[in-house]
């Protein structure tokens, strides 16, 4: 069963940072519960398909050189974790935020994303 640390990394890199739709879907099926809830400042998305659509929409809005990078350490307990991230050209992030995940039975059941305020 994956650890909260591993799930945080997979959420960031294998789903939201992955431009290959098939690989992104395979990762999502492995790391999220079918009824995962994704919440960000734009609203709430319920279910794995809605989360995948959100990731595809996000990746479609940023130029190819933009990448996600961890922007600090992992914070984790047995069923909750947080990871700060940065998005932009490598070494020159333009957006920063943090993902807070809830985990049950080795899968993410909720992702809450917060953006750094200017």
Instruction: Give me the residue spans of the domains in the chain.
Output: 4-115
Q: 4-115 architecture in CATH?
A: Roll (3.10)
pLDDT of residue 91: 87
pLDDT of residue 46: 97
Render each residue's pLDDT in the chain as its tens digit; 118 residues: 999 999 999 999 999 999 999 999 999 999 999 999 999 999 999 999 999 999 999 999 999 999 999 999 999 999 999 999 999 998 899 999 999 999 999 999 999 999 987 5
Q: How far apart are CA 49 and CA 36, in angstroms?
A: 9
pLDDT of residue 104: 98
pLDDT of residue 115: 93
Q: In terms of C-beta density within 10 A (0-12 exposed, 13-18 middle, 19 or more buried), how is residue 87 classed?
A: buried
Q: 85 with 111: CB under 8 angstroms?
A: no
pTM (2 d.p.): 0.94
Q: 55 with 24: CB under 8 angstroms?
A: yes
Torsion angle in degrees (nearest 10) through CA of 20, 85, 44, 52: 10
Helices 21-31 and 48-61: crossing angle in degrees, nearest 10, is 140
pLDDT of residue 118: 56
């Amino acid at each position: 069963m994956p650890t909260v640390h591993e799930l945080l990394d997979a959420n960031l890199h294998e789903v939201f940072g992955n431009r290959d739709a098939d690989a992104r879907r395979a990762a999502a099926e492995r790391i999220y519960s079918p009824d995962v809830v994704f919440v960000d400042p734009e609203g709430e998305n319920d279910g794995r398909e809605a989360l995948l659509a959100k990731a595809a929409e996000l990746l479609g809005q940023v130029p190819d050189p933009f990448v996600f990078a961890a922007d600090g350490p992992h914070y984790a307990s047995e069923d909750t974790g947080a990871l700060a991230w940065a998005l932009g050209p490598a070494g020159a992030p333009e957006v920063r935020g943090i993902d807070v995940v809830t985990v049950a039975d080795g899968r993410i059941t909720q992702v809450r994303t917060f953006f750094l305020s200017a």
